[in-house]
Amino acid sequence: MKNNLDILENKIGVKFKKTDILKSALVHRSYLNEHKDFPLDHNERLEFLGDAVLELIVTDYLYNNYTEAEGVLTNWRSSLVNGERLASIAEEIGMYEFMYLSRGEAKDKNKKARQYILANAFEALIGAIYLDRGYASARKFVEESLVSHLDKIISAGEHIDAKSNFQEKSQEMVGVTPRYKVISESGPDHNKKFVVGAYLDKELVAKGEGYSKQEAQTNAAENALQTKGW
């Protein structure tokens, strides 16, 4: 499947001038540990680029199509570009089938680990499209695959993130602003797992896990809301 990149190009609606750029977006760091002679780099630099391009495209779209206040637009943008949603879109595209992974990563059944890999690969794909086809193509892809979900997000209230909700409830109920602290880290650098505690003063209300500190904080806030019954 990895070699049939024309299938992936058809799925995303983008024909690459240089297919090696697309292929690089699909290379996980772990693959290179087992294939030292592989001619391409892993996808982390493309992910870095794609993250910035994605944020600009979404911000540009929201600014030009909505008149809401900055705080509202920021929440909408955060809901659109969070890792779980990016991974979900990548799953819809079927990106995992095309990825270059180590044998261990390919066999790993951990859902969170898979989501983390897919979210990063989706950002790398955006970076690859931008690099190979330009901003207009990247914008078309992002708007069609991701921004098209915005109306559903707004109507379902999915833009109200758990951290904001927990902070509002904490200040309302006990007059305290929550703080978050990393309790532990585990795993290799390219796939590090964080456990974060949500605290009210010195009280540890709940813990959360994630493959980024932000994801772990959000998970901790969700668990804290349940613990407090808020």
Largest CA distance in the chain: 59
Contact 117, 28 (CB under 8 A): yes
Name the active-site residue from 6, 92, 108, 123: 123
Residue positions counted in the chain: 230
Rounded-to-integer distance, Cα 212 and Cα 195, Å: 9
Q: Is 189 a catalytic residue?
A: no
Name the active-site residue from 9, 44, 51, 60: 51
Question: Which amino acid, one-letter code, is at 52?
Answer: A
Q: Is 161 a catalytic residue?
A: no
How far from 207 is each of 82, 94, 128, 140, CA to CA, in Å? 20, 32, 36, 39
Classify residue 201 as left (phi > 0), alpha (psi -120 to 50) or beta.
left
Q: What is the set of active-site residues?
A: 51, 123
